[in-house]
Structure 1
């Protein structure tokens, strides 16, 4: 099932956008940009009858209370040109467990990916796809959420913004900025677009309620709900204004260096080159005897000859350490961080406390140090090389993805990952492949999905518990997973979900699982001893139970080998394309997940 893909360089993108927004040679202010796109789309896009994949955005999934990501196959019944939307008839959903409230839904055109093979070959879907590709690139990379609020009625948006933003995209793609600065910029862009969609939903809800209340008397409960949403809307607008100010500076190449020095300290104190290994001990304000006891405990965990520096916070240590440094954290502390670089090179975070999360969870949650994001970032930590975390609680409640692992040999020892039980979109650990991950005596709980994994990786679950997720572990075939005295339980859907893309699997089902009768082509296994799959190895006393829809499910893959769950954030994934910031099709993305940066 292929969709249209377009590989275009930045010059082509610049010329295409200029041609759409030429306005007959007149100045086009920001307020008129949408009208120009509507005029262009009306001419180029087929009004009805074409098939497409709909890739729903994260805010849409949150609004529908379904898992993110969501990929749906369907037919466009009608294009709503004035709204740049389409009425989309749902025909199949990639995830069998997702049930949308209605058979048709209104979606943004930019979220649609037309299929190459159409039921009606007479349609000019190639022109439609190219038009949507231009629209998608513009609104995902060039148009900013605050442009609508600008009061530049006498200034041309093209003259003021187009070239500078194309160049900004180019600089992000070609790594002309430091990794730290480019990661910061991408995180801001992803957050800004997330806020925009969230803000649009809230404003729409408030508007609909105001219309209903014109004829009805407002009760106290409705008033309270309205006040809560109004407060949330104010917070979103304030945060968006902060992001606007930073992005405006980053679009100016001259100001970036100054911004980086002010924002990140210019890398002063960062270890570079071949220097002696260094350990960092994070301290806290406590009486002398308690401090000495803590330092003695930290000393017992490290090489006696290693050089040591003291820091007052994990953030301070991260601002000065080299990638291979070991950082030691005091017990019972909360470490708020804003860290945009990648963890690798054999470095480590170690809590100087060893209370077991598996055996004494409540005590461990109080005694072991916790790492939390300072802001509502996309990802708490990103790892792209060998790294170890030990005796740490990773609080992922205010991020959309806990940990992203791109490559390397990664060890989590006595760690706890906690999400948000009310979220249907929050991801725990996302694994891209080509790596080995060991969870030793860990706890993973309260995520939409605890662990997502692409193929070509090895996961070791040793005395580890995954619980109270929607799905505990979701993986592709050709991934090796060892369960040694592990448990996955109390999940509202599945304990373990394996997406099987083996062509022979449908004709020669392995094992004796129950085949569902709803057309989902899934096998459900309650007893793991009945599973005969090379991907799974079981040792010790494993426990899988009280998972609402099955302990183990093997499901025939929806399209090509791809775990769509590895969509982390649109801005991050789309900046990793090979040929200048083109919009990869889902066909691109469905082959293998590519990391954003080397």
Structure 2
């Protein structure tokens, strides 16, 4: 059966007209508190209530609950649509892998992608698919978590609709610079996380108030107040960023976090690379000894600045600079000027030199690199609650004697993701506690030498036309597979192939030398049919305000 889905590529004006018609009821004001009910009425008029098939792209946190890999896509049949809740009861009719899922599940409508082929040909599937596309776009890109706090006498449509649609298309077309896009995504993500925490806390406090024998927790009430305050701060910042005039001002003055004096001082020193030493404190003797070690890394003549905050050093750095880390836990929200290349060097014990994310302030990855050559040596990278450790978009990332790990193990945690055109070289590096240690997209390249994998669900996930070279590594003791390849070249039909390393003999993308394959829970190698290419190709561009 064909799994082709409907695709809608709409212009700014088309989106604006659609939403104006859906949400404008005559001349009356539509406050934020009424937006959901307006959608419920519209959906009930348009969407087929029962009997149609769709692909369900299971969201990341639901995959975590089911203990399955993200992304996972399954075929479902809709048994009932709940128009008030904007959700559907679905029956799962086909899965790709041997995964355990409930037979039926309540799914938000915006997670469903109706298929073009339906057994019941009288259904209006174009109208249904178009309506779900409208719903998905609206709640992904236009509706913000702080909107619920708007006054009831404020017209949400006239205040927010057009500016937010224009913001989405400006980001998609590259009109908004990357730094501002990153800030917008980070604020939106943080706002959604905070709103989820507020909802949970309010439920806990409500339960405590109902229980007369339980004393109200002042700590929870104080935390709730702080969360509301932060949400209002985010709302204020986003109101500025939604204004195109203010965005232009920020773009012209994006420079860096350095003062004008600092910028002039750097320019006066020429274009050579500089060094930053991040030191969290210690005795004078410790400091002297540490600076001696730093000198062996950067040489005696490089210009060096010291800081007690890694993020400040990264914000002040430029491509090609060197950041040397003393022992301790260093929190960051991004890699600053080293995004386009540079070097991170830790000294001391590997387990005591740790980079981790600031809660809610990071993107989906802790370290995001988009060009040049990046070297990381002697550093532990802890994912925490983030989805992935390193993201290599372009250029080359080299890991030497590093450790990428999580303490809160989950099947959806990814160590390193290598996108098309990027290259990862890892030597003597350990991947620990991850769902998937390394993901290689088509066109990406990975070389591993003397690397270790501990307590990971699977080792390496790759695709057709990617490249993997592994030397002297132990590809053993995975809960599932050491290598999982999504392919259209090496399998025919929906059935996959599971076997030993002998399966790799005629696979041009993979070169294995002096490696051990032992005790892998579901087999050493898995070739599985690639999910519908149409599904991934026909998404709304690559602009994502939340991920």
Match of 2:525 among 538, 546, 552: 552
CA separation of 1:219 and 1:399: change in aligned 2, threshold 3 A? farther
TM-score normalised by length of structure 1: 0.79
Q: Does the aligned pair in 1 maintain the 2:257–2:316 contact within 8 Å?
A: no
In structure 2, distance between residues paired with 1:283 and 1:477: 44
Q: Structure 1 pair 104/168, CA: closer, same or farther in 2 (3 Å)?
A: same
| Pairs within 5 Å for 1:267-282 | 268=260, 269=262, 275-282=271-278
Which aligned pairs between 1:21-170 and structure 2 lie closer than 5 A? Answer: 21-94=23-96, 96-100=97-101, 102-150=102-150, 152-170=151-169
- Residue 347, structure 1, aligned to residue 339, structure 2: no
For the residues of structure 1 that align with 2:433 and 2:337, how far apart are their CA atoms? 25
- Per-residue deviation at 1:304? 4.7
CA spacing shift, 1:198–1:119, aligned 2, 3 Å = farther
After TM superposition, give the deviation of residue 416 of structure 1 in Å.
Answer: 0.6
Number of residues paired by the alignment?
534
CA 339–587 in structure 1, closer or farther in 2 if over 3 Å, else same: closer
Asked if 1:381 corresponds to 2:367, the answer is yes
- Distance in 2, matches of 1:177 and 1:244, equals 19
Q: 1:198–1:449: structure 2 CA closer, same or farther, 3 Å change rule? A: farther
- Quick one: which of 332, 345, 356 aligns to 1:372? 356
SS state of the match for residue 127, structure 1? helix
TM-score normalised by length of structure 2: 0.86
Residue in structure 2 matched with residue 338 of structure 1 by the alignment:
333
Write out per-residue CA displacement over residues 330-383 of structure 1, whole angstroms, 9 at most, x where no aligned residue: 2x2221112265744441111134xxxxxxxxx5313xx211112233221111
Alignment match, 1:588 = 538
Match of 2:466 among 479, 484, 488: 479
Residue 246 (structure 1) aligned to one of 237, 244, 251: 237
C-alpha spacing 1:558/1:416, structure 2 compared with 1 (3 Å): same
Say whether the 8 Å CA contact 2:314–2:335 is kept in structure 1: no
How far apart, CA to CA, are the structure 1 residues paired with 2:81 and 2:387? 31
Tell me, in whole angstroms, the C-alpha distance in 2 between the residues paired with 1:342 and 1:308.
16
Give the aligned CA root-mean-square deviation in angstroms. 3.6
The offset of 1:59, in angstroms, is: 3.1
Asked if structure 1 preserves the Cα contact closer than 8 Å seen for 2:311 and 2:335, the reply is: no
Contact conserved, 1:346 with 1:387, CA < 8 A, in 2? Answer: yes
- 3-state SS of the aligned residue for 1:47? coil
Question: Which deviations, in whole Å up to 9, do the C-alpha atoms of 1:482-531 show, x marking residues without a partner?
Answer: 111112333322222111211x6338xxxxxxxxxxxx723333x43563
1:195-214 mapped onto 2 (5 Å cutoff): 195-196=194-195, 202=200
Q: Distance in 2 between matches of 1:232 and 1:522?
A: 49
What per-residue deviation string (whole Å, max 9, x for no partner) do you get for residues 181-223 of structure 1? 32021122234335556766x589979x97xxx9xx9999xx9
Measure the CA separation in 1 of the matches of 2:221 and 2:523: 41
- The 3 A distance-change label for structure 1 pair 182 and 587 is closer
Shift of 1:117: 2.2
Change (3 A) 1:334 1:203: closer
Shifted more, 293-302 versus 246-255: the winner is 246-255
C-alpha separation in 2, matches of 1:594 and 1:155: 29
CA distance in 1, matches of 2:380, 2:311: 16
Distance 2:57 2:201 in 1: 23
Structure 1, unmatched stretches of 5+, are 354-362, 508-519, 562-584
Measured after TM superposition, the shift of residue 415 of structure 1 is 0.8
User: Is 1:410 paired with 2:397?
Assistant: yes
Cα contact 2:278–2:306 (8 A) shared by 1? yes
In structure 2, the residue matched to 1:514 is: none
What is the deviation of 1:107?
Answer: 0.7
Partners of 1:11 and 1:341 lie apart in 2 by 36
Paired residue for 1:455?
Answer: 442
Partner of 1:308: 304
Q: Secondary structure at the match of 2:168?
A: helix
For the residue of structure 2 that corresponds to 1:292, the secondary structure is helix
Separation in structure 1 between the aligned mates of residue 335 and residue 119 of structure 2, nearest angstrom: 46
Q: Deviations over 1:7-32 (max 9, x none)?
A: 11222211111111111221111111
Distance 1:329 1:551 in 2: 38
**Is contact 1:452-1:474 (8 Å) kept?**
yes
**Can you give the 5+ residue segments of structure 2 that lack an aligned partner in the other structure?**
none
* Whole-angstrom distance in 2 between the partners of 1:97 and 1:179: 40
Q: Secondary structure at the match of 2:475?
A: strand
1:76 Cα deviation from its structure 2 partner: 1.5
Contact 1:389 1:411 survives alignment (8 Å): yes
The alpha-carbon distance between structure 1 residues 60 and 345, as it changes in their structure 2 partners (threshold 3 A), is closer
- The alpha-carbon deviation at position 135 of structure 1 amounts to 1.1
SS of structure 2 residue aligned to 1:89: strand
CA, structure 1 residues 339+421, in 2 after alignment: closer, same or farther (shift >3 Å)?
Answer: closer
1:421–1:469 contact (8 Å) kept in structure 2 = no
Question: Aligned to 2:316, which of 314, 320, 327?
Answer: 320
